Amino acid sequence: MRGEPAGSERVGAAVKAVEARGLVKVYQGARKERVRALDGLNLTIGHGEYLVLLGPSGCGKTTLLRTIAGLEQPTEGEVHIGGHLANGLPPRLRRVAMVFQSYALYPHKTVRHNIEFPLKAEHVPRHMRERKVRWAADLLGIPHLLGRKPRHLSGGERQRVALARALVREPAVFLLDEPLSNLDAKLRATTRDELRRFQQEIGTTTIYVTHDQDEAMGLGDRVAVLDAGRLRQVGTPRDIYDEPADTFVATFVGSPPMNLVSRGDRLVGFRPEHLLPAENVAYDSRVTMPLRIDRIEYLSGDRHVYGSVTRIGLETRVIARLPATVITPLTVGETHEFAVPADRLRFFDAEYGTRTAPVRIGG
Amino acid sequence: MRGVPARGRPRAGEKARLTDREGFLAWAFLLPSVVYLTALVAAPFCLTVAFAFSDANSAAPSYRFAGLRNFRAIFRDDVFWRALGDTLALTGLSMALVVFFGMILANVLLADFRGKWPVRLLVLLPWTTPVALSAISWRWLLDSAYSPVDPILRDAGVLHGGASLLGRPPLATASVVAVHVWRLTPLAAVILMAGLAAIPRDVGEAARLDGAGFWRRLFGVTIPLTLPVIVVAAVFGAAVTFADMAVVRVLTGGGPGASTQVLPALAYHRGVEDGDMGQGAAIALFLFPLLLAGVIGVLRAVRRPEDANDGEADGEEP
Amino acid sequence: MNGVAARTRARELDRQRRWSVVRHVVARAAVYAVAAGAALVCAAPFLWGLVTAFVHDRGGPGASGGPIRTGRAPTAEHVRFLFRSTPFPAFVVNTLIVGSLVAVVTLALALPAAYALARLNRSWGTPARMAILLVYLVPPSLLFLSFSRIVATLGLADSFWALVLVYPTVTVPVSVWLLTGFLKAVPVDIEEQAMVDGHSRLGAFARVVAPLVFPGVVAVVVLAFTLSAGEFAYALTFVWSNARMPVSTGMPARLGNGDPLLWQSMQGGAVFVAVPLAMAANLFLDRFVAGVTPHR
Ligand SMILES: Nc1ncnc2c1ncn2[C@@H]1O[C@H](COP(=O)(O)OP(=O)(O)O)[C@@H](O)[C@H]1O
Ligand SMILES: [Mg+2]
């Protein structure tokens, strides 16, 4: 199983780029109530890795990035960067660069001065600064914008400027906080590819935060799923999708989400695309169940079938996604026999939601 | 549906009322203020100009055109030139100090610390207290039989003989500046707090991540971004300072020997106490060019810094 | 990684860590020091006034010794004197009356004007807002001479009605500016909802918008009170009878003769006026800052 916390992974001879050990961050909110934004989080990121941090909003993603960057001090736990303890070090000594959700460009400075600012702070000599600004601008395709101010840039252009500013310092780690969320849908798709290509070119360790599962699954070497300040699972996109560590991951990833049917002290889970009319599933190892159809939606050729199943557990509303190749006629109101290949069933503890060993289900 | 036909349709019988028309409302709402301010600011201003060219006095309230006589009289008057110079110097010096201390105070008041409420209360005292009362309290503190400052200065050898603190020209001037700075720093701090709070938090943090230390953040990010607000605070403070006569009147009475005389107090002295309204008005008019400069300053400041000097070649170097 | 290099770097980082702890402590200490210092300096004359208002009078000016005679219990004699034998209570009452009337007039003029500038989109909205604010920069000292003539002509000489007439020229411009900020913060949707529900523009304003900007209204009342209590030039020129003066000119006028007993009483009076005003302003400081902040 890949779902174990990353901190317990064997830390070999190689020094990790970033390590979080038992991070806890408690905010003192307004009216004295406490918010546990991070709740004992362990995470390890190798050199040159592209880790995507996925989770619903408010789960503590931004807090984790800010703690790694040194903008927040953790209430408990340790941050290690490049093998050295970073707790108590100010941001400027950590060699991390962060691209904020808002991009946080200096509104009164031109693009050139924005990009140059970190270099000036490091007292880089003038000719070196010019070379590096040009290099970063060329890399991101923005040399023509150097004389402009941020107000006169489009969202995509601002984002590139923010990246260029992060880049010139040659940081050990890039932290990107939902960098695409301010872009329109079309730009988002192209920029996503560019970001990935760009990282492969530079090879810098990157932590990329998003609440969008398509972005996460499309981008990451590994994806870490976060919920309520805890790490739920770390793994390849494929692991996350096919072998969810618990019911949170199972229902958060995938759209429509995984169906969960209560059966005794277990939950039986299966993806909508694996629930098909029985005649379309190989006879030998399958689990069948009658499905009473309430509603059918046609979405780009697929049929989404809504209804409730019985027999394998308590009566539960489920969704089946039938690809265009499945042509079995179905009508609303009828009860049809559906089936799931037995190896596609996942089992979870009904009380804690954690993954458990498979159970035999007859039929 | 069919039972209530009138409901579904616009009520055609009823005309759109006057109160629904935006153009009319805008005027109706704005007009009282405009009329009031015009009548009670523009009219007296014109009257002041008229007085300045007349020989009006409080004894004979008739109006006779006197040409430039009042101006010629005050130009020949040493006290006027002293007062003009003092007003400018006082205002300039006070504002520099007010902006400096106001910036520090604003940053502190925005920080988190225990006991903020009482600190804020005490810090607001100078601003909210009627200035004449503050001046009384200061005079009591600095220059009276009960002053704790007086004996300290005497022990230190700064003061000797019969003269008291406010009886010595340089010290008296310094005291007037001090009271103005004391009084206006909280106001400037409140205005600057608004400006500082408007800087996006991300931008300040980006600067920290970019490796900028405290001073570089201050001069490279914070001050440029709050510059318009700084100008507004300074101009408002200056307008209050250079038009103020209460501090000087109560604290030093313009003395010793007209060494702390300022234009407004002089205008009052000539125009009301001496009864020469023409000359008083002429003196008061000299406040106007300064006021105009302030207005222009504000107007330029409220243009956003992001817009200014756009696309200009980059020549700046720290 | 090379072991020696790693250890050197670790030591360097440890040094930096300690250094940043020191910096943090110093910064916190500086915040507290500046806050305490500022509070002390700002309150200094009043603190001293408060102390002297309750100590025994030393027996006339020119007596030797420290400013305070120690060893005697505090006395309320000066405060009693202030309220019984001086016109101070009359000054306070005059100030309160003038302040309240000015606040009412200010609101009546400024709230509609601010609404017009914030909501009813006219091309002249922004220039008009600027122009009104700039009126605030015209100082009373430029106008008081001609005003004294106008006031005399209107038969308001030596009456606080003159102050009620004139003070809104000072308070209205700032209040319009502040209230425009507050009104812009009220979502237009709420008002449009009321209009869809059958109210006229005016009705929507009175029933929905005005209650929502109540904090701004209170801030304006506090401001109008503070400004009119603090004004000096007009009060000095228009009102000269003791019984009709407000605090700001009444107290200095009575102190012209340097009777120390009176001085000590007056110090108590100054604190008595200063503290409530500062309290009111403190309650609304955050709202005030919010109203001043430009809405981007
Ligand atoms: N400065 C703060 N003060 C109090 N609570 C905060 C603060 N910052 C974040 N939080 C709370 O911490 C939780 C995690 O926030 P955040 O890390 O911003 O979530 P995400 O970026 O995943 O959307 C939220 O519940 C949020 O309300
Ligand atoms: Mg976030």
Residues of A in contact with C6 (CB under 8 A): 83-84
- Name the one residue in this structure whose structure tokens are 């003070």: C167
Alpha-carbon distance of C192 to B297, in angstroms, equals 38
Section B260-275 average pLDDT: 81
* Partners of chain A (3+ Cβ pairs below 8 A): B, C
- Choice from A26, A27, A36, A41 to test ligand 1 binding pocket (greatest atom count within 8 A of CB): A27
Alpha-carbon distance of B298 to B293, in angstroms, equals 9
> What domains appear along chain B, each with residue ranges and CATH number?
20-52 (no CATH), 78-306 (1.10.3720.10)
More confident residue, C166 or C206: C166
Closest chain C residue to B44, measured at CA:
C146
Atom number of ligand 1 nearest to Cα A226:
22
CA of B205 to the centre of ligand 1 (A): 16
pLDDT for A226 equals: 92
pLDDT for A112 equals: 92
Task: Name which of A9-18, A189-198, C249-258, C280-289 the model is least confident about.
Answer: A9-18
Quick one: three-class SS letters along chain A? Answer: CCCCCHHHCCCCCCCCCEEEEEEEEEEECHHHCEEEEEEEEEEEECCCCEEEEECCCCCCHHHHHHHHHCCCCCCEEEEEECCEECCCCCHHHCCEEEECCCCCCCCCCCHHHHHHHHHHHCCCCHHHHHHHHHHHHHHHCCHHHCCCCHHHCCHHHHHHHHHHHHHCCCCCEEEEECCCCCCCHHHHHHHHHHHHHHHHHHCCEEEEEECCHHHHHHHCCEEEEEECCEEEEEECHHHHHHCCCEHHHHHHCCCCCCEEEEECCEEEEECHHHCEEHHHCCCCCEEEEEEEEEEEEEECCEEEEEEEECCCCCCEEEEEEECCCCCCCCCCCCEEEEEEEHHHCEEEECCCCEECCCCCCCC
pLDDT for C290 equals: 63
Closest chain C residue to A13, measured at CA:
C1
Taking a C-beta distance cutoff of 8 angstroms, is the pair C197, B15 a contact?
no
Residues C230, B130: C-beta atoms closer than 8 Å: yes
Query: Best interface-test mutation with A: which of B112, B202, B210 has the largest number of A CBs within 10 A?
Result: B210
pLDDT of A225 higher than 50: yes
Measured in whole angstroms, how far is the alpha carbon of residue B302 from the centre of its chain? Answer: 17
Using DSSP's 3-state secondary structure scheme, residue C97 falls into helix
Closest chain A residue to B306, measured at CA:
A108
pLDDT digits (tens, 9 = 90+) for B40-54: 888 888 888 888 888
Taking a C-beta distance cutoff of 8 angstroms, is the pair C233, B264 a contact?
yes
pLDDT of A8 higher than 50: no
B/e letters for B183-213, b = 16+ CB within 10 Å, e = fewer, are: bbbbbbbbbbbbbbbbeeebbbbbbbbbbbe
* CA-based nearest residue to B211, from A171, A158, C21: A171
Torsion of CA A27, A28, A30, A34, to 10 degrees: 80
Q: Which ligand is nearest to the CA of A63?
A: 1
Closest chain C residue to B198, measured at CA:
C293
Count CB-CB contacts under 10 A for residue B73.
17
- Cβ contacts of A133 within 8 Å, gap of 6 or more: A112, A115, A116, A119, A146, A164, A168
Task: Name which of A39-43, B236-240, C95-99 the model is least confident about.
Answer: B236-240
Closest chain C residue to A15, measured at CA:
C1
pTM: 0.81
Judge if ipTM > 0.85. no
- Residue C285, sorted as left (phi over 0), alpha (psi -120 to 50) or beta, turns out to be alpha
pLDDT digits (tens, 9 = 90+) for A87-131: 888 888 888 889 988 888 998 899 999 999 999 888 889 999 999
Domain ranges for chain A, please list them. 13-242, 259-349
Residues B203, A108: C-beta atoms closer than 8 Å: no
Of A83, A89, A93, the CB nearest to C1: A83
pLDDT digits (tens, 9 = 90+) for C199-251: 877 788 778 887 888 888 888 888 888 888 888 888 888 888 877 888 888 88
Residues of C in contact with B119 (CB under 8 A): 35-36, 38-39
pLDDT digits (tens, 9 = 90+) for C58-94: 554 444 444 455 556 677 777 787 787 778 888 889 9
Residues B205, A148: C-beta atoms closer than 8 Å: no
Alpha-carbon distance of A236 to A243, in angstroms, equals 10
**Shortest CA gap C7–chain B (Å):** 24
Alpha-carbon distance of B17 to B159, in angstroms, equals 75
Section B281-310 average pLDDT: 70
Degrees, nearest 5: CA angle C71-C75-C80: 165
B23 part of contact set with chain A, CB < 8 Å = no
What angle, rounded to 10 degrees, do the helices at C260-283 and C88-118 form?
30
**CATH class (in words) of the domain with range A259-349:** mainly beta
Kindly give the pairing relationship between strand A266-270 and strand A276-277: unpaired
Alpha-carbon distance of B91 to B84, in angstroms, equals 11
Sign of CA dihedral B286, B287, B290, B292: negative
pLDDT for C102 equals: 93
Alpha-carbon distance of B34 to C83, in angstroms, equals 42
B122 part of contact set with chain C, CB < 8 Å = yes
pLDDT digits (tens, 9 = 90+) for C18-54: 888 898 899 999 999 999 999 999 988 888 888 877 7
Residues of C in contact with B280 (CB under 8 A): 145
* pLDDT confidence band for C288 (50 / 70 / 90): low
Domain ranges for chain C, please list them. 2-53, 87-292
**One-character DSSP codes across B46-98:** HHHHHHHTB---SSS----B-TTHHHHHHHT-HHHHHHHHHHHHHHHHHHHHH
Taking a C-beta distance cutoff of 8 angstroms, is the pair C152, C240 a contact?
no
pLDDT for C85 equals: 76
Residues of C in contact with B20 (CB under 8 A): 200-201
A179 part of contact set with chain B, CB < 8 Å = no
Task: Name which of A76-85, A149-158, A343-352, B248-257 the model is least confident about.
Answer: B248-257
Q: Which ligand is nearest to the CA of A101?
A: 2
pLDDT for A131 equals: 92
pLDDT digits (tens, 9 = 90+) for C139-149: 787 788 788 88
pLDDT digits (tens, 9 = 90+) for C86-122: 788 888 899 999 999 999 999 999 988 888 888 776 6
Closest chain C residue to B141, measured at CA:
C45
- Choice from A26, A62, A75, A181 to test ligand 1 binding pocket (greatest atom count within 8 A of CB): A62
pLDDT digits (tens, 9 = 90+) for B150-183: 777 777 777 666 667 777 777 888 888 899 999 9
CA of A32 to the centre of ligand 1 (A): 15
B213 part of contact set with chain C, CB < 8 Å = no
Fold of A13-242: Rossmann fold (3.40.50)
pLDDT digits (tens, 9 = 90+) for A164-207: 998 888 888 999 998 888 778 778 888 888 888 888 888 889 99
* pLDDT confidence band for B98 (50 / 70 / 90): very high
Average pLDDT, chain C: 80
pLDDT of A18 higher than 50: yes
Of A84, A88, A90, the CB nearest to C9: A84
- CATH of segment(s) C87-292: 1.10.3720.10
Kindly give the pairing relationship between strand A205-210 and strand A34-45: unpaired
Residues with CB under 6 A from ligand 1: A 27, 29, 35, 37, 55, 57-63
Alpha-carbon distance of C257 to C253, in angstroms, equals 9
Residues A90, B208: C-beta atoms closer than 8 Å: yes
- Residue B190, sorted as left (phi over 0), alpha (psi -120 to 50) or beta, turns out to be alpha
Measured in whole angstroms, how far is the alpha carbon of residue A229 from the centre of its chain? Answer: 14
Size of interface A-B (CB pairs under 8 A): 85
Residues A92, B314: C-beta atoms closer than 8 Å: no
Residues B128, C35: C-beta atoms closer than 8 Å: no
Size of interface B-C (CB pairs under 8 A): 302
Residues A89, C13: C-beta atoms closer than 8 Å: yes
C122 part of contact set with chain A, CB < 8 Å = no
- Residue B167, sorted as left (phi over 0), alpha (psi -120 to 50) or beta, turns out to be alpha
Residue C43 to residues A164, A189, B139, B186, C274, Cα–Cα distance (Å): 50, 61, 14, 12, 10
Residues of C in contact with A88 (CB under 8 A): 17, 20-21
The reply to whether omega before B44 is within 30° of 0 (cis) is no
A interface toward C at CB cutoff 8 Å? 15, 83-85, 87-90, 93
- Counting every residue, how long is chain C? 296
Residues B203, A104: C-beta atoms closer than 8 Å: yes
**Shortest CA gap A90–chain C (Å):** 7
The amino acid present at B56, given as its one-letter code, is A
**Shortest CA gap A231–chain B (Å):** 26
CA of A57 to the centre of ligand 2 (A): 6
Residue C79 to residues C88, C199, C244, C255, Cα–Cα distance (Å): 11, 55, 22, 16
B303 part of contact set with chain A, CB < 8 Å = no
Of C6, C16, C21, the CB nearest to A93: C16
